[in-house]
Amino acid sequence: MLDANAQSYDYDLFVIGAGSGGVRSARVAAQTGAKVAIAEEDRYGGTCVIRGCVPKKLMVFASEYANTIADAQAYGWEASIGAFNWPQFQTKLHAELDRLEGVYQSVLKNNGVTSYNSRASLVDAHTVTLADGRQVTAKTILLAMGGRPIKPAITGSEFAITSNELFHLENLPKRLLIIGGGYIASEFSCVLNGMGVAVTQYYRGKQILRGFDDETRQHVASEMQANGVNLKLGMNAESLEKVNGQIKVHATDGQDYLFDQVMFATGRRPNTDDMGLEDIGITLGKKNEVVVDEFSQTVIPSVYAVGDVTNRANLTPVAIREGMAFVNTVFNNIPTKPDHELIPTAVFTQPEIGTVGISEEEASKLGKIDIYATSFKPMQSAFAGRDDKVLMKLIVCQKTDRVLGCHIVAPGAGEMIQLASIAVKMGATKADFNRTVAVHPTMSEEAVTMTKPVRSYP
């Protein structure tokens, strides 16, 4: 229940940022009877809906049809495919994003949330100022501004784009360089390669997808190269220069290379600049993230933060869960900590990664661990004459028999890991997996049919 003191403010809750976390928090808080407002300076839906998960996944779907047609031919169908029509796809893509943005706006309106299409910043612990100079007050303020891609400080970086601009290109480049080794760089390398772009990817490290299980990321890198991505490890760009409509890249190998377009996917930064946060005493971390406690509360008791702006686990479902926990804590009087343990993750490379729990490298430091793993050609692609392989892997504690990690590289791995993560989250043991009858013939049956470890630690 809100106390009587809340009536002295314009709103019980003012949310800054209408991405997934902000919109969910505003809507659910309003459903408790709170008077809620939200401010968004750009588009409703935030990174995920407008320039992230949703448009990216639609591009993933689009990029897979060339292989689908090739497989159809191998299966006896008379089928052919022409060149990919980017403008046609792009028109439909943006129409879908417009529709989804409208859904977000309608959800807020239908739940009585007041929307301000404006940038907002903080004046004090209870006051927000809008771009036109208006000020509004709120008993509680929620920061949900998300993050944005950043470019490295090298000469000529202004000639490159980020993932934000990619969706708005009039035409796809013939030759594209993507710089970075994280999931955004690797996903777009696969997607654009599938759309017919000659993709080169530079990553300064020894292997892409740092932080993921080593065997998993090595498997994906190998498959990406086999599919046509020119992956250059231990390589980076030192400078960019515009030359006759192309971009000349001076690389760390001392050579110059020409591309039609260059995209940086080298990191993201929380949107905390010029928000007045430090002026009122809110603590920011090394990456300019809002520092919060286990209940998403800042050092200012009336100000909370959720989502990518806190740089905890930068995933849309996590932002939503953090928002729900915030509403429970502040408006339902049920103190709730968002659960950041065993978060399942999908990386939409080609093939996909689905993962939950710890990696083999993490496990090897914990004591006696068994590694169960298998790699094989799936039936569908083997029949079509393709050489791609999938990977199934379980990390198991010898003492408790508990499955500590599950890693899948396969078509549809994201779908598989969502279900596998339920078992892992519940504390399932390898014996539980073994007792489960396999669904045959499927790729995922290997998760319950592996009987002997391939490696053990120590």
Nearest residue to 407 (alpha-carbon basis) of 458, 446, 452: 446
**How is 297-364 classified by DSSP, letter by letter?**
B-SSTTEEE-GGGGTSS--HHHHHHHHHHHHHHHHSS-------SS--EEE-SSS-EEEEE--HHHHT
Please enumerate in sequence order all residues whose Cβ is within 8 A of that of 117, keeping only pairs 6 or more positions apart, or say none.
39, 40, 41
Pairing mode, strands 11-16 and 135-143: parallel
Q: Give me the pLDDT at residue 424, please.
A: 98
DSSP assignment letter at 290:
B
Q: Give me the pLDDT at residue 7, please.
A: 58
Tell me: pLDDT of 119 over 90.
yes
Helices (H), 159-239: 163-166, 183-194, 214-226
Tell me: pLDDT of 5 over 60.
no
The token pair at 388 is: 């791609």
The number of helix segments (H) and strand segments (E) in the chain equals: 14, 22
Pairing mode, strands 353-357 and 369-376: unpaired
The token pair at 272 is: 């905390």
Domain ranges of the chain: 4-149+269-331, 157-266, 345-457
Q: Give me the pLDDT at residue 2, please.
A: 44
Q: Does domain 4-149+269-331 have CATH number 3.40.50.1100?
A: no
**Is 126 among the residues known to form the active site?**
no
Fold match between 4-149+269-331 and 345-457? no
With tokens 């600049």, the residue in question is 273
Rounded distance between C-alpha atoms, residue 4 and residue 275, angstroms: 29
Nearest residue to 191 (alpha-carbon basis) of 386, 53, 80, 375: 53
CATH number of the 345-457 domain: 3.30.390.30
Catalytic residue among 94, 340, 407, 440: 440
- How does pLDDT run across 253-281, given as a tens digit for each residue? 999 999 999 999 999 999 999 999 999 99
Tell me: pLDDT of 4 over 80.
no
- How does pLDDT run across 18-51, given as a tens digit for each residue? 999 999 999 999 999 999 999 999 999 999 999 9
The token pair at 369 is: 């661990």
Mean pLDDT for 194-214 is 98
**How is 365-422 classified by DSSP, letter by letter?**
TTSSEEEEEEEE--HHHHHTT----EEEEEEEETTT-BEEEEEEESTTHHHHHHHHHH
- In degrees and rounded to multiples of 5, residue 393 shows phi and psi of -150, 135
State pTM to two decimals.
0.95
- How does pLDDT run across 353-395, given as a tens digit for each residue? 999 999 999 999 999 999 999 999 999 999 999 999 999 999 9
CATH number of the 157-266 domain: 3.50.50.60
Tell me: pLDDT of 6 over 60.
no
